[in-house]
Structure 1
Amino acid sequence: MTLGRNRRSFAAELGSIHASRSWCRQLIDEPPWCRERAPDIELCVTELVTNAISYGTGDRLGVEVVSPDESSLELTVQSTGPFIGEFSWPPELAAQTDITGRGLFLAHAVSDELTRDLEPGSVTFTARFIDPSTEPGLDGAP
């Protein structure tokens, strides 16, 4: 993956789930730790885009993959228009309380960090993934 910021806009329709996942897959071929975490990253984009389509009211959504350095990756999905319905936050509550909200629970479970930003007219979720070899105490790292 090229360091930096890659952004793409998709229509808020079901076909965009596969399209956004395929687009992300192309971006995460390097470094090797991204390939190892590809299933997690792909599941995360699938769940976040599905939520944006299911609960957003806009006709477009944005997906952004940012790699500020060789050891981290941020995946952001932004939907325009206010969300319809309610969603559980923090995501670990979703699996316990609702039949909806499981997508956020899954995204939270497979990422190293999941944040949300609520603004008038949009909802943004950002999942962060970190190279496991750089985390203290993992894989023999200090």
Structure 2
Amino acid sequence: MRGLISIAIRGSWKNLKRILFHSERVTSMEMRYRILSGQVTLPKTVNDPMCIGCGACARICPTKAITMIDLPEPIHLTEKYTKKQRPELDLEKCCFCFRCHDTCPIFKRYNRPSAIHPREVGDYYEDVSKLLGGG
């Protein structure tokens, strides 16, 4: 019993030290300030110029974290295909299974970096019209 009380007191003191004296910080004060002031931005998860707007990513998502948003003006990619929507990824719902990435036809069929990626999509660019055979 005495050992149990000793453990409880030591644990309480350790947590009290963390709260009152900010000991054992994991995040620097500068980073905390940047987060709280909104200076930290999330990485880009959708590469709009590379997306063809097919919606495969939204259909395959098990948590429904991807919704297709209508574009203000349709983009004609080829003579027969027009992009009318773009995906929007909600990272709070995302389970990071990468099904969206693996299903993207830009990745799967054309062997290029996927237009959607839950971590970060990067800045890859290629003319999608030419890739689809329209230009």
TM > 0.5 between the two? no
* Greater fraction of residues in strand: 1
Bigger radius of gyration among the two: 2
Using structure 1 for the length normalisation, give the TM-score: 0.29
